[in-house]
Amino acid sequence: MILIVDDDPSVTASLALLLKQAGHASHSAASPADALAWLDTHPCELVVQDMNFSRRTTGEEGMDLLARIKALRPGVPVVLITAWGSIQLAVQGIKAGATDFITKPWTHEQILQTVRTVLGLAASVTVDDRVGSREELDASYDFGNLVGEDPRLLRILQMVGRVSATDASVLITGESGTGKELVADAIHRNSHRRLAPFVKVNLGGISASLFESEMFGHVRGAFTDARHDRKGRFELANGGTIFLDEIGDLDPASQVKLLRVLQDRTFEVLGSSQRRTVDVRVVAATNRNLGDMVSRGEFREDLLYRVNLITVHVPTLRERRDDIPILASRFLQAVGQVYRREGVRISADALVWLKNQRWPGNVRQLKQGIERAVLVTDKPVLDAADFQMTAEMQPREAGRDVLPPVGSMTMDELEKAMIVKSLKHHNGNISKVAQALGLSRAALYRRLEKYEIAG
């Protein structure tokens, strides 16, 4: 049962009829008092409420009703209805516990899509919270491109599987190279939109001057070089999913334009005054902290709440080190096929070395490292020295911490490794090694004997 709360009888009647046609039973309340009295004695799946119930337009009545509903029935999702000019009020409502908001004037499809999404999310969180094994998840969903068995990854996969069935907007966060695009692809492949387009957009690579043309398209003659009509990314994604990568790099003016289309699913093609409607599922990603950007005034708070109905944080590779051998094996198999080196293997000591690296570039860096090792050696078995050699070939970023992760090596192991590395670098010249390490020759000889290193 869905509760509709609005003091305008034409609004409640219209919404009730719309919901009935879509197969949803509803009850209407004309005031906060009526709504609370009904909620106290009746089961309810969702509340759709206006923010004003008198001539006052501050939204205080709506905020008060929201607080009372969450106190009375904390598990019931609430969708707010507000005017476009009052989106900031809706953002306050989201912070206070509302699940989503709709702006006036709304369309029937917008209302129904929001209701379906919120009810679907509510159903997904009521199922068993036990995290299934990798085998169980693979039996239920298509996660072929996401490799690993770490508990953190399995929790993400379970969440992705559950929310994929809805049209909820998803914000994927995490460092560069962690696989955010693969998560977005998995959301699409496990959704009811899987047979429709999956359109990827790198927002960081689109200049402000080209944003409207790239995202919404243009007609011939819209600007100097517009010789042909062109469909924008949103129109290309119609019926499917649009993946907005690097959304944190979007400039303020473009943020406003993006918010508008995400809000009412309509846009204007550049050079045309006719509005077009689009049906898309929105998945965004960023390696930046959008909350901090909001506090600094660099990212719109209302846009943040529009794209992150669900947030998925992808862990770094160093947070799931036990997955490194599995990933390395998968990458080696793929690279071996490309370069006709199907028989190449990774030694046990090399796997230990790989697990002990920091991998600031995460999964992407691991994949590149394996590919380079295959390219620069012709050995059937890759050992730690092969990977270390390829790692040293890469330029190091200024200020980067190149020390091994805490807990991976003792001080003696670290000292021994540095001595061995210095000996190789100086071709066994004891004087130069001692000078490089800041030791006397006698102190260096004592350490060579201690660590049983041949000088």
Task: Assign residue 224 the CATH number of its domain.
Answer: 3.40.50.300
Q: What is the CA radius of gyration of the chain?
A: 28
The answer to whether 134 and 247 are in contact (CB under 8 A) is no
How many residues comprise the chain?
A: 455
Asked if residue 243 has pLDDT above 60, the reply is: yes
> Between these two residues, 116 and 438, which has the higher pLDDT value?
116
* Whether residues 373 and 268 fall in one domain: no
Q: How confident is the model at residue 142 (pLDDT cuts 50, 70, 90)?
A: very high
Tens digits of residue pLDDT in 369-421: 999 888 888 889 998 888 888 777 665 544 455 566 665 567 777 888 888 88
Task: Assign residue 416 the CATH number of its domain.
Answer: 1.10.10
* Whether residues 223 and 293 fall in one domain: yes
* Whether residues 99 and 18 fall in one domain: yes
Task: Give the mean pLDDT of 130-137.
Answer: 84
Task: Give the mean pLDDT of 105-115.
Answer: 85
* Whether residues 326 and 207 fall in one domain: no
Q: How confident is the model at residue 156 (pLDDT cuts 50, 70, 90)?
A: very high
330 C-beta neighbours (distance < 10 Å), count: 15
Q: Is residue 147 part of a domain?
A: no
Q: Is residue 455 part of a domain?
A: no
Task: Assign residue 383 the CATH number of its domain.
Answer: 1.10.8.60
* Cα separation, 338 vs 108, whole angstroms: 50
pLDDT attached to residue 399:
47
* Whether residues 357 and 236 fall in one domain: no
* Whether residues 177 and 297 fall in one domain: yes
Judged on CB neighbours under 10 Å (0-12, 13-18, 19+), 370 is: buried
* Whether residues 303 and 423 fall in one domain: no
Q: Which of 83, 106, 124 is the last residue of a domain?
A: 124
Q: Which of 365, 392, 419 is the last residue of a domain?
A: 392
Q: Is residue 141 part of a domain?
A: no
Of 131-145, 172-186, 219-233, give the range with the top mean pLDDT. 172-186
* Whether residues 195 and 244 fall in one domain: yes
The number of distinct structural domains making up the chain is 4
Q: Is residue 144 part of a domain?
A: no
* Whether residues 74 and 193 fall in one domain: no
Tens digits of residue pLDDT in 181-212: 999 999 999 999 999 999 999 998 888 888 98
Mean pLDDT of the chain: 87
* Whether residues 166 and 214 fall in one domain: yes
* Whether residues 180 and 323 fall in one domain: no
402 C-beta neighbours (distance < 10 Å), count: 9
- Of all residues in the chain, the percent with pLDDT exceeding 90 is 48
Asked if residue 274 has pLDDT above 90, the reply is: no
**C-beta pairs of 255-259 under 8 Å, 24+ apart in sequence:** 255/299, 255/300, 255/303, 256/300, 257/211, 257/212, 257/215, 258/215, 258/303, 259/300, 259/302, 259/303, 259/306
- Kindly report whether the global pTM for this prediction surpasses the value 0.85: no
Q: Is residue 404 part of a domain?
A: no
Residue 252, preceding peptide bond in cis (omega within 30° of 0): no
Domain, as residue range, for 330: 318-392
From start to end of 191-332, where are the E strands?
A: 198-202, 217-218, 230-231, 241-245, 266-268, 275-277, 281-286, 310-313
Task: Give the mean pLDDT of 260-264.
Answer: 86
Q: Which of 290, 315, 340 is the last residue of a domain?
A: 315
Q: How confident is the model at residue 303 (pLDDT cuts 50, 70, 90)?
A: very high
pLDDT attached to residue 146:
93
Q: Is residue 234 part of a domain?
A: yes
Asked if residue 261 has pLDDT above 50, the reply is: yes
Tens digits of residue pLDDT in 26-44: 999 999 999 999 999 999 9
Q: Is residue 343 part of a domain?
A: yes
Q: Is residue 445 part of a domain?
A: yes
Task: Assign residue 120 the CATH number of its domain.
Answer: 3.40.50.2300
Task: Give the mean pLDDT of 338-361.
Answer: 90
* Whether residues 331 and 306 fall in one domain: no
